[in-house]
Amino acid sequence: MDASVTDRTLTGEDIVGNLDEIQGNIIKPYTYAQQRGLFFRIDNGAAGRQWLDHVSARVTPATPWPDAKRPQSAMNVGISFFGLRALELSADALSGFPGVFQAGAVGRAERNGDVGERSPDTWQDGFGSEGIHVAVFVFSDDVALIDAESDWLREAAERVGGVTEMAAHDGRGFEDGVEHFGYRDGLTDVPIEGTEEIYPQTPGAGTRQPDGTWAPLKPGEFLLGYENESGSEPPAPEPRELAVNGTFIVYRKIYQDVAAFRRFLAQAAECVYGSSNEDDQERMAAKFMGRWRSGCPLMHAPDEDRPELADDPDKCNNFGYSDDPDGMICPRGAHIRRMNPRDALDGTATVVRRHRLIRRGLEYGPKLPDGVLEDDGRDRGIASYLVCANIKDQFEFVWQEWVNKGDFAGLPMGEQDPIIGPASAEGQMTLPGEPMPFLFDFKRFITTRCGEYFFMPSLTALKGIAAQKY
């Protein structure tokens, strides 16, 4: 990295020059079919740093590669606050990290509504404590290569001692692009200013402009040291070298109760349409998501599915909600309208572009065979991370305000995300224009199994942490 750039706020113009510093899979998703997240605890700072130094040499930067030259595997690293502490970062450096990150997923559980059945006490593999220190994500199309990389990591850990593997979570790309609940996923992404050339995206990604076009997000929403959508920089630790080109990720392993979802879908179709035939269930599923299960957006196909639109780059993502203020076409509480309200909140105090998330998710566990309505007891769900420069304004805001409440969209306070909401007693969904325009008694379809906040440093910072430079 050019040392001179570190003293000023970077902008989109600086990104291309910094790609070799930024970790891969942030700006642009990998397309590997397999992923493994390995989670380690560090009991000895010096040994941990030595191990991290080995690992940092293998970390994959964001530098683009031509298709033919795609490496066979990739590796990326995140460190929790407790990990930074265990690696003996200086007290000054530690105290500069945002409070929310310092508290970690457990410390923030109450604020995030991770209580009761969702509480960290129920999390697995040592998550739910302060014992998850370093996350290493390994990607490849070939599981054998992932195994080899994992062995390399483990052997290196054994050599230094004092580094213990806590868990390994396997994930794979969605089969045919379809996730467990039966929806096509991975259709949208968030474009970052300055990356248009290396990662062109479809219209509809980004932020709607007054002239109807879509603008990419300022890099500071996803990278430390860069200008963000408030015209400032995201809160970051000192020294600057530690922060610049780094970011935060929110890791969540989430169980999906597919049988419960399918049963509820049928019941909901009964309640709303008076029938649970396949068409009505599909219609119901589309209202929950804001897209038909094919991926076709409701806003372009209000009455029936047009699967071809999911593959039409000019249609798949190119829509807003301002023509549908009441949610007659896409309910105001539908998953994608909540998670990215696009232009729906224009004119309110909420600035949507300050609350965006990059999703880097894969699924795990076998698919529940079509038509099965009883749980088979197998574990399945998503093992994903969300990227954001400001955990509080992005992940936590979305989770607390948009997933768990309805108020922001003018819905009843207790109305929650139909797919990922906590389904508390007041849970309901408003469906204007449908034969029965409201639906109650939502069930909880997802359960967090593991969660933690990780700092994903630049390559320079990673080596610096390993050298106890900060």
Partner 1 sequence: MSAGKAVTKETLEVVKSFNLEGLFKTRGAGASEVTLLHNIKEGKGAEQREWLEAVINTDWELSLWGSEEIHFLRACTINNDTQFLFCSNFDGTPDTYLADFLVHSPEFLDQVWGRCEGYPEGGARDFKGFMEFIVSGYVPCQAFFAAYPDATVKQVWRALDWEKKTRDFQRELARPTPSRTLEESSKQRAA
Which positions lie near partner 1, rule CB under 8 A? 263, 266-267, 270-272, 274-277, 412, 428, 436, 438-441
Q: Binders of ligand HEM among 239-258, rule CB under 6 A? A: 254, 256
Min dist. Cβ of residue 282 to partner 1 (A): 16
Cα 335 to Cα 327: distance, rounded to the nearest angstrom: 13
Among the listed residues 179, 221, 233, 434, the single contact to ligand HEM using CB under 6 A: 179
Contact 195, 28 (CB under 8 A): yes
Among the listed residues 100, 109, 258, 382, the single contact to ligand HEM using CB under 6 A: 382
Size of the site for ligand HEM (CB under 6 A): 25
HEC letters along 101-125: HHHHHHHCCCCCCCCHHHCHHHCCC
User: Of 362 and 398, which CB lies nearer to ligand HEM in the complex structure?
Assistant: 398
Cite the DSSP H helix spans in 181-257: 240-243
Cα 71 to Cα 88: distance, rounded to the nearest angstrom: 33
Min dist. Cβ of residue 4 to partner 1 (A): 47
Instruction: Choose among 86, 57, 56, 104: nearest CA to 163.
Output: 86
Cite the DSSP H helix spans in 227-295: 240-243, 258-273, 278-289
187 binds, among ligand HEM, partner 1, none (CB under 5 to 8 A by kind): ligand HEM
428 binds, among ligand HEM, partner 1, none (CB under 5 to 8 A by kind): partner 1
Cα 271 to Cα 44: distance, rounded to the nearest angstrom: 58
User: Of 152 and 438, which CB lies nearer to partner 1 in the complex structure?
Assistant: 438
132 binds, among partner 1, ligand HEM, none (CB under 5 to 8 A by kind): none
HEC letters along 347-385: CCCCCHHHCCCEEEEEEECCCCCCCCCCCCCCCCEEEEE
Contact 161, 167 (CB under 8 A): no
Cα 217 to Cα 207: distance, rounded to the nearest angstrom: 7
Asked if the bond preceding 369 is cis, omega within 30° of 0, the reply is no
User: Of 200 and 274, which CB lies nearer to partner 1 in the complex structure?
Assistant: 274
**75 contributes a contact to ligand HEM by CB under 6 A:** no
Cα 226 to Cα 239: distance, rounded to the nearest angstrom: 15
Distance of CA 456 to the CA centre of its chain: 14
User: Of 63 and 277, which CB lies nearer to partner 1 in the complex structure?
Assistant: 277
> How does 122-141 read in b/e, with b if 16+ C-beta sit within 10 Å?
ebebbbbbbbbbbbbbbbbe
> How does 250-279 read in b/e, with b if 16+ C-beta sit within 10 Å?
bbbbbbbbbbbbbbbbbbbbbbbbeebeee
Min dist. Cβ of residue 313 to partner 1 (A): 39
Contact 261, 445 (CB under 8 A): yes
Q: Would you give the binding string for ligand HEM spanning residues 435-454, x where CB under 6 A is met?
A: -----------x--------
User: Of 215 and 467, which CB lies nearer to ligand HEM in the complex structure?
Assistant: 215
**360 contributes a contact to ligand HEM by CB under 6 A:** no
Min dist. Cβ of residue 372 to partner 1 (A): 14
User: Of 203 and 239, which CB lies nearer to ligand HEM in the complex structure?
Assistant: 203
**329 contributes a contact to ligand HEM by CB under 6 A:** no
Min dist. Cβ of residue 432 to partner 1 (A): 13
**404 contributes a contact to ligand HEM by CB under 6 A:** no
**320 contributes a contact to ligand HEM by CB under 6 A:** no
Contact footprint for ligand HEM (CB under 6 A): 179, 181, 183, 185-188, 254, 256, 289, 291, 335-336, 339-340, 357, 359, 382, 386, 398-399, 403, 419-420, 446
